[in-house]
């Protein structure tokens, strides 16, 4: 179990996130039809708005809107890359609608600079970049120019590492330095070790086991384990049967120092986080 730490605050869309005080919940809204997690709702803005309000009532602290599946694109998987215009058509109407009714901030899950730019104009208050500025050279300028927080996630092609955890930490530190050089304020940088991205099952489990080592980065830590294939492999269960496995990884992530957990099952994981926080951070804080 990691020691509770305070590493400052980050203002996201007018809301102060006090890191170390509790675990924050990021609810996922995928406006796709091919989400790996089976929760893609397509482009029905009404459905997305209803879901966002539902997540807010359940206790979500931020909503993460994504318009492109993170499944690998290839002729073997059958996944076709999403075009820029298609991604814009999916996420912008949804973000506009959500920003008009939600009290909690909205994050845009994209690695495309133009999508991030348009999403911020539409009401998004944070960028969640699964390629940590490596997917689009203009992304760092969009984030720094808009003066919004950013999640920098570790990702790579393949899963070869000389030394897994130190290698991921080193890569994240390089991403942080790149963001700083681009003019992103230090208190607006959040890091994510990228569970399920460029890592196999054993590597994902090792990162979760050694999560406390990421405290060396001195940055808020986001974890996204919800419904992922590692849980499916361990339990031999399909996507819609992974809520208990997700709960286990969320609880362990919090014990390891996670500040935000990105989840699909908001109601259940809010409860998991509250109990985990009571153990890890102390019941007297609630």
* CATH number of the domain encompassing residue 155: 3.20.20.20
For 247, half-sphere exposure in the C-beta direction (CA atoms, 13 angstrom radius) is 14
Place of tokens 């459905």: 47
pLDDT tens digits along 196-219: 999 999 999 999 999 999 999 999
Contact 191, 176 (CB under 8 A): yes
Q: Does residue 230 belong to any structural domain of this protein?
A: yes
Q: Between 40 and 110, name the one with better pLDDT.
A: 110
- Do the domain assignments include residue 2? no
Which is the catalytic residue, given 22, 90, 228, 242? 228
Confirm whether 262 is a catalytic residue.
Answer: yes
pLDDT in tens, 164-200: 999 999 999 999 999 999 999 999 999 999 999 999 9
Is a pLDDT exceeding 50 seen at residue 36? no
Helix (H) or strand (E) holding 30: strand 24-30
pLDDT given for residue 44 in this prediction: 84
Phi/psi of residue 10, nearest 5 degrees: -135, 130
Domain count, the chain: 1
**Helical segments of 100-157, H only:** 113-122, 139-146
Q: Is residue 112 part of a domain?
A: yes
pTM: 0.93
Cβ proximity of 76 and 277 under 8 Å = no
> In the prediction, which pLDDT does 122 show?
98
Active-site annotation holder among 199, 227, 242, 262: 262
């Amino acid at each position: 179990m990691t020691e509770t730490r305070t590493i400052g605050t980050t203002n996201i869309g007018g809301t102060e996130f006090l890191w170390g005080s509790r675990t924050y919940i990021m609810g996922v809204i995928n406006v796709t039809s091919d989400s790996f997690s089976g929760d893609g709702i397509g482009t029905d803005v009404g459905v997305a708005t209803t879901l966002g309000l539902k997540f807010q009532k359940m206790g979500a602290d931020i909503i993460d809107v994504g318009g492109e599946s993170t499944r690998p694109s290839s002729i073997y998987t059958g996944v076709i890359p999403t075009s820029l215009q298609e991604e814009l058509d999916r996420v912008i109407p949804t973000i506009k609608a959500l920003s008009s009714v939600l009290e909690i901030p909205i994050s845009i899950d994209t690695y495309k600079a133009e999508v991030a730019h348009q999403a911020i104009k539409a009401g998004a208050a944070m960028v969640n970049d699964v390629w940590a500025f490596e997917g689009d050279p203009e992304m760092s300028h969009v984030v720094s120019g808009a003066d919004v927080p950013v999640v920098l996630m570790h990702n790579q092609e393949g899963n070869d590492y000389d030394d897994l955890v130190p290698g991921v930490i080193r890569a994240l530190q390089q991403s942080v330095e790149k963001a700083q050089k681009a003019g992103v304020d230090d208190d607006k940088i959040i890091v994510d070790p990228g569970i399920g991205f460029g890592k196999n099952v054993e590597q994902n489990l090792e990162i979760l086991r050694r999560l406390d080592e990421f405290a060396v980065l001195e940055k808020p830590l986001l974890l996204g384990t919800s419904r992922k294939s590692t849980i499916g492999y361990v339990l031999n269960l399909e996507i819609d049967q992974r809520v208990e496995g997700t709960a286990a990884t969320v609880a362990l992530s919090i014990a390891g120092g996670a500040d935000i957990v990105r989840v699909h099952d908001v109601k259940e994981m809010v409860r998991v986080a509250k109990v985990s926080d009571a153990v890890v951070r102390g019941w007297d804080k609630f």
